[in-house]
Every structure is written in structure tokens, then in C-alpha cells.
Amino acid sequence: MTIEIDAELHRRLFAGINEQGFSPEGWTRAPWTDELRAAEQLVIDAAVAGGMVCEHDPAGNLWITDPQAPADGLVATGSHLDTVPKGGAFDGTLGVVGGLVAVLALRAAGVPNAERLAVISFADEEGSRFNTPCFGSRTMVGTFGDEVADATDKDGISIRDVGPQDPTKAAGLQRRIGCYFEIHVEQGLALDPADVSLGVATRLSARGRWEWEVVGEANHAGTTPMAGRRDALVRAAELVLAAQREAEARAGAVATVGRLTPWPGGTNVIPGRVYGTLDVRALDNATRDAVVQALVDGFPDVAIEHKSTDDAAIFDPGLIGDLHACAHDLGVSAMDLPSYAGHDAGTLALSGVPSVMLFTRSPNGISHNPAEHSDESVCLDAIRVLAAAMARRLV
């Protein structure tokens, strides 16, 4: 059976969505805004034209299914339509558009059991506005409880003010999903140097965030001799360098101090206190934890406080194998690739839904930036591979 991908539909939907929230500095579609709703409406119109039905669940995730969809065992794909502020055109949008185009192609080809095909556009994946990343999927699987709807933005407006009232009523809906695929623009620079079109994600890294504070003693920058100073920023600098060293010493680990605030912050004052952040990621939980433990042991004088962790999400070996086999059949180059970012597919995988991601080559490795890009030919190849892999799961 040949599966014909409608390249024109892909082009039209992708362009239409990216007319929403556009400015010369990038695309901004925050969740539960007019821009986001306009983008969703384009997807809904195309899905309905293809004979599918669309419904928002209580967390605001958009489900696109067949009118005769079964209660479970859905062969699903999707991503998200929200963006970070001044983000790129591809992150999220490609997975929703590509997923819908693949599903409509399979339905048009008359594949058996097509009523099991579904597309999900997850709500508030980026979490930029309310600091609630993967809101839709995490609420669905129960990682976020009801209090998440009280999260506020910088103006004090809560999710409940603008979005879902009772998001946890969506809890458990992931049990409808038999398996989940997500196309996504590559975030990093692995595929282009290897001259490979697609990356098959094997896992999402273990991640974690910490905050720390060094306490020294503020004093006069002129009258305090070097000997005996308690300069908190000098100690903080040692911690920054140690974080780099500990990550470099472990394969696949990365550590970043992204914020550093000395206090009181005067040119002629020795810093008495420094606040800092720490973001550590690694291929597995143990390596992430080892980096942090080394810093805790090396800096007993510094309070290092755990804020959040996400364990490594392992993708399904069967789905990984399917994507490779389909790419091979279609003559599209593909290689395994871990990802160091968070995605809804990772949330689903951690909750036990067999999941996988397919990354499209990014020539510059840039993401969350208007320069984010994948060639259209690579995107269409990804959609062909996705459609073929989803067809395998229908039989």
C-alpha cells in the first residue's frame, strides 16, 4: 500500500499557524491566548475536513480522533502549538502539523483499523508563562495536582483565570493511548555534521534544578586587606568551575549555572552573599545525582537546595525499531539520538505509555529562537516515516 503525503496541506497548515503570533523578533503563542486559539482552529478545520472529530479535554489538550475511536489502544501522535516568547516556527508546530498530515494520509489510503489513529495537541508544553512545563501531559498523567491551576504569571494572573478550571479531570486519559509518536525539530547539532536526516530519540535525559547560596561578609573594598576577606563571589566562582569540572568528568553530563546574583551589588563592596542556580542533566539519573553530590560534598559551606528533578525517560525499543525499519524502507537516513530537553513524549513514557520521538535535522542546531529551522524535504521525510511506523501499529 502506498501512503501519499499531502505536501501542500503540510505547507498550508504550517504557514497558517505561523501567521499567528508572528513578529520580526520571533513567534509568541502563549497558552490560552487568541493567537494559540487561532492556530488550533486551523488544525481543527483541517482535521474536520478529513472526517475527524476534535475535543478539548479538561486540561485543555486538543484530541483529534475518529468518530468511531475506541476507548483505548489509540495509535497517537502530536506535539504542541504554544511557543516560548519570541521562539521559532518549528518547535511543537511541526509535530502537530506533521502528525495530522500523516494521520490524514493513512486514513485516505484506507489502512485497516484507521479509527485507532489520533492526534493530540498538548496544552502549555513550554510552560513559559506560568512556569508549568508540559502542563497538559503532566496533568493528564497525574504529575501535576489541582494546585497547578493556581500557578500565576508575572502579572498575578492564574491558569484558572485564563485556562482550564478543573484540569485534573483529565487525569488518567493517557490510558487511552496505546503508543505515542512525536516529530520534533532537532534541538542541538548532531544530525547535520553526520549528514543524517532524522534522529530517533532513545531517551530524554535525567534533569534537575537546584538553587544555592554562599554566605560571606560584606565589607569595604578598599580598607579590607585581601587576607581574611570572606568574599562570597570568589567562593561562588569556585562552585561554578567545580560544576563544570564535575560534569566534564562524566560522559553525557552537562551542568550550567545560569543565574548568579551577588549582594549587595556595590562596586566598592565585597560581596557578602551570592545566590545562584544549577541545572544538571545526564543520560541517567545516577550520573545526574553524582554530579550534584560531588558539589554538595565539595562545598559543605554552601546551602544547595533541590528545586525539581525529572528522571530520564526511556523510549520504547519496539517503536524505535519501527522508525528505523520504516526510514530504511523509505531510503531516509536516520540515527539514534538522546535528547536533553523536556517533551510531552517523555511525560507519557515515564507514565508507562510506549513512546518515541523523531527529530528533524536542524542545520544550525538552534532552537527556541526564530532562526530555528528544518528543510521542508526533511520534514516531509519525517512525516512519511511516521505514517509508515504508525501503520505498523494498526495491525
Q: Which residues bind Zn ion (CB under 5 A)?
A: 91-92
* C-alpha–C-alpha distance, residues 356 and 203, integer Å: 8
Nearer to Zn ion, 6 or 91 (CB): 91
- Report the chain's C-alpha Rg in angstroms: 23
Q: Helix, strand or coil for residue 136?
A: helix
CB of 89 to Zn ion, least distance (A): 12
Nearest C-alpha neighbor of 45 from the set 20, 12, 75:
12
Per DSSP (E only), the strands in 74-197 are: 74-80, 117-122, 177-185
CB of 279 to Zn ion, least distance (A): 18
- Cell numbers standing for residue 166: 478543573
CB of 220 to Zn ion, least distance (A): 50
CB of 125 to Zn ion, least distance (A): 6
* C-alpha–C-alpha distance, residues 229 and 263, integer Å: 15
Nearer to Zn ion, 92 or 208 (CB): 92
Nearer to Zn ion, 140 or 236 (CB): 140
230 contact partners, CB below 8 Å, separation of at least 6? 216, 217, 219, 270, 272
CB of 325 to Zn ion, least distance (A): 26
- By the 8 A CB rule, do 392 and 326 touch? yes
Nearer to Zn ion, 50 or 346 (CB): 346
CB of 183 to Zn ion, least distance (A): 10
Nearer to Zn ion, 134 or 283 (CB): 134
C-alpha dihedral sign at 19, 149, 100, 95: positive
Amino acid code (one letter) for 287: T
**Cross-strand pairs, 356:** 181
- How many beta carbons lie within 10 A of that of residue 105, not counting itself? 24
21 contact partners, CB below 8 Å, separation of at least 6? 27, 28, 29, 33, 35, 36, 39, 83
CB of 182 to Zn ion, least distance (A): 8
Angle between helices 7-17 and 93-108 (to 10 degrees): 150
Nearer to Zn ion, 122 or 210 (CB): 122
Between the alpha carbon of residue 274 and those of residues 11, 94, 124, 235, 368, the distances in Å are 50, 41, 33, 9, 29
CB of 175 to Zn ion, least distance (A): 24
Q: Classify residue 155 by its DSSP letter.
A: T
Nearer to Zn ion, 40 or 246 (CB): 40
**Cross-strand pairs, 179:** 75
Nearer to Zn ion, 65 or 79 (CB): 79
CB of 110 to Zn ion, least distance (A): 32
Nearer to Zn ion, 91 or 231 (CB): 91
